[in-house]
Amino acid sequence: MSRSEILVIDDDPEIRSNLRDLLELHGYGVTVAENGLEGLAAALEHSPDLIVCDVMMPEMDGIEVVRRLRTVEVGLCPPVIFLTGLDDEASVSTGLSSGADDYLIKPFMAPKLLRTIEARLRRQEQMTRFHDSRAGNMARQFGDLLPSDVLEPLEAVEKCAAAMRSAVKPLAPAAVTTMGRQIARLVWRTRKRLENYALVLEPASSNHNLGVLTDHPLHPSLASAVVTETATEIASLADRSSDLRLEVQGMHTRIPAWALRKAVLELADNAFSFSSPRETVKIHWDTKAGSRLVVTDQGHGLPEPWSHAKCLDEWRRFQLQRNLSGQPMGLAACAYLLETYGSSLHFRELNPGLEVSFDLVPGDPGSPA
């Protein structure tokens, strides 16, 4: 079996040297870089199996390194473990949201670093086998819907643009603002759908380590910040900021920040899409049944059979028969994502409305079949 290659990025020469010696002693191949810019170049050149990266560095900080690897170099970024000082722990929230997998606070003990690295590499290998074995069927089903699901909002954007071009007289500022908002929403929704397809059709291109739970719960302030920022963004996009109610202080989760953000984005978008202005959308942390994030709305809910669907096949048949223009697509992708972390979506019909929830501290997902 070939040895795993690790890239260490840190501007402190003593830390770099110590980490190199430690990791080589335990059988890893090691490449080092003294700042973020050099680290990015090294990652592109060597394609390491894992990156250990400082957060605060000259030239380019660790957060920007991860962001570029996740969003620019598609499919390239391996698991990333941040090294952070106590004084910049708050910045890790942004780093985890950008795609980092874990973090250790300096100074840390060598055994803890080694355990974290071993766990990341082991889970990465397990999830690669897991996705290879089960994603094919779902990918084919999603792929059948890709053309119409993306073309529809693009056609709407085209119609808005045509109306603006063909106006006999200049449009009133309010009309321009309204149409601009509509175009922005359509573009955002199209991008989100394409991201959902990428998540299911080609897991590697989603640039994240699917199914890799954090070894310890995210700090409550970090988890709460991810939920708050994401839900606020969706409420603003729907022009319904005043309808949002949040009760998520102190929550914790083993699901990584990027996946938590994705789940909240889809559930909040669903809640606002299927309810009306001045109807409350509430997101809260429920500890009655473990640790669960709950999203409720006062809308008309989802038509049968999706609200009680047990698998994607039921959703797909409903989608094709009723032509819902892809609205449940986000829930299907969200369910798929959470299943890789050993969690799942739970639906409960309200009168009126719908409650959707998922476990924040699931057990490790099962070994690949």
> Residue range 107-113: average pLDDT?
87
Q: What span, in angstroms and rounded, lies between the C-alpha atoms of 356 and 347?
A: 5
Q: Are residues 215 and 341 in the same domain?
A: yes
Q: Are residues 97 and 9 in the same domain?
A: yes
Q: Are residues 72 and 194 in the same domain?
A: no
pLDDT in tens, 160-187: 777 777 766 777 787 777 777 778 777 8
For residue 326, pLDDT beyond 50: no
Domain that holds residue 315: 136-359
Q: What is the CATH number of the domain that holds 91?
A: 3.40.50.2300
Percent of residues, the chain, with pLDDT higher than 70: 70
Q: Are residues 242 and 164 in the same domain?
A: yes
On whether residue 369 sits in a domain, the answer given is no
Q: What is the CATH number of the domain that holds 324?
A: 3.30.565.10
Is there a contact between 139 and 319 (Cβ–Cβ < 8 Å)?
A: no
Q: 319-326: long-range contacts at Cβ-Cβ below 8 A with a sequence spacing of 24 or more?
A: 319/145, 320/145, 325/149, 325/152, 326/145, 326/149, 326/152, 326/193
Residue 235, pLDDT score: 94
On whether residue 121 sits in a domain, the answer given is no
Q: Are residues 90 and 210 in the same domain?
A: no
pLDDT in tens, 112-150: 899 889 888 887 776 666 555 555 555 555 555 555 566
- Where helices occur in 86-217 by DSSP H, the ranges are 92-98, 110-166, 173-201
DSSP character at residue 247: E
On whether residue 10 sits in a domain, the answer given is yes
Q: What span, in angstroms and rounded, lies between the C-alpha atoms of 81 and 101?
A: 6
On whether residue 368 sits in a domain, the answer given is no
Domain boundary among 55, 89, 108: 108
Domain boundary among 89, 108, 127: 108
On whether residue 118 sits in a domain, the answer given is no
Q: Are residues 306 and 180 in the same domain?
A: yes
Residue 50, pLDDT score: 92
Q: How many domains does the chain have?
A: 2
Domain boundary among 92, 108, 124: 108
For residue 259, pLDDT beyond 80: yes
Q: What span, in angstroms and rounded, lies between the C-alpha atoms of 174 and 167?
A: 14
Q: Are residues 87 and 174 in the same domain?
A: no
On whether residue 179 sits in a domain, the answer given is yes
On whether residue 70 sits in a domain, the answer given is yes
> Residue range 61-86: average pLDDT?
75
> Residue range 334-346: average pLDDT?
84
pLDDT in tens, 187-232: 887 777 777 776 766 554 455 566 666 666 677 788 899 999 999 9
Q: Are residues 269 and 183 in the same domain?
A: yes
Q: Are residues 89 and 142 in the same domain?
A: no
On whether residue 11 sits in a domain, the answer given is yes
Is there a contact between 365 and 122 (Cβ–Cβ < 8 Å)?
A: no
Residue 318, pLDDT score: 37
Q: Are residues 44 and 174 in the same domain?
A: no
All residues at 6 or more sequence positions from 220 whose CB lies less than 8 Å from its CB, including other chains: 249, 250, 251, 252
Q: What span, in angstroms and rounded, lies between the C-alpha atoms of 268 and 234?
A: 7
pLDDT in tens, 275-318: 889 999 999 999 887 789 999 998 865 554 444 344 344 444 43
Q: Are residues 175 and 251 in the same domain?
A: yes
Residue 128, pLDDT score: 62
Q: Are residues 156 and 255 in the same domain?
A: yes
Task: Provide the pLDDT confidence category of residue 250 given band limits of 50, 70 and 90.
Answer: confident
Give which of 204, 280, 271 is closest to 244, Cα–Cα: 280
